[in-house]
Amino acid sequence: MLARSTQLSTRAFTRSFHASKVARGAHAHSPVPFSHKNKVAFAAKVIVFFAIPFSIPFGASAWQIYKSAGGDA
């Protein structure tokens, strides 16, 4: 009885695996949510996307130094 139950579960797993492969076989979407056909525009978007968060700590540090100097710097 135990051997039969493992055989049935193996069949069910095999059947479900093949069905999922066919259902998700196509890759019809782009991984980025905007157009990347124009290389210059894409490069500008990437630079802005990474430069703004990278510059936040430096801006915060400059602001703290400015505040501690009493606005004289």
Written in H, E and C, the secondary structure of the chain is CHHHHHHHHHHHHHHHHHHHHHHCCCCCCCCCCCCCCCHHHHHHHHHHHHHHHHHHHHHHHHHHHHHHCCCCC
d(CA 28, CA 33): 13
Predicted confidence (pLDDT) per residue in 3-60, tens digit: 666 666 666 656 555 555 555 566 666 777 777 789 999 899 899 999 999 999 999 9
pTM summary value: 0.47
